Amino acid sequence: MNPVREVIDDGLLSRYLDTTAAALERLRTAAPERSFGKVLADDFLRMARSYYEDALHFRDAGDKVNAFASVNYAHGWLDCGARLGLFDVGGDDQLFTLYE
């Protein structure tokens, strides 16, 4: 029996998915339109959304381990973008890990 599969229950996975969905809704791109920062912000957001969609796919397929891993990668991209100042998160230190 795989002990990891026993720890990732539906409630835990749902909480992480909901948190990342809220973070995706909350953030705004902070970088100016015609800047390298905008290119980075768009790429970070594309990666986060891709991993989030992967997480939903894995969850729907019953693969909680890969769903949990994917949602954590998604949120990692969002946190990194927030810490670098690519995303304006309104100082929200509940949904994001900020620099200070």
Q: Name the band, by pLDDT with cuts 50, 70 and 90, for residue 75.
A: very high
Which pLDDT value is given to residue 99? Answer: 76
HEC states along 1-59?
CCHHHHHCCHHHHHHHHHHHHHHHHHCEECCCCCCHHHHHHHHHHHHHHHHHHHHHHHH
Whether 56 has a pLDDT exceeding 70, the answer reads: yes
Whether 3 has a pLDDT exceeding 60, the answer reads: no
What span, in angstroms and rounded, lies between the C-alpha atoms of 7 and 22? 23
What span, in angstroms and rounded, lies between the C-alpha atoms of 88 and 90? 6
What is the SS3 assignment for 88? Answer: strand
- Using a cut of 0.85, tell me whether the model's pTM lies above it: yes
Task: DSSP letter for 98, please.
Answer: -
Give the rounded percent of residues in the chain with a pLDDT score beyond 90: 87
Which pLDDT value is given to residue 100? Answer: 75
What CATH homologous superfamily does 16-88 map to?
AF1782-like (1.20.1270.90)
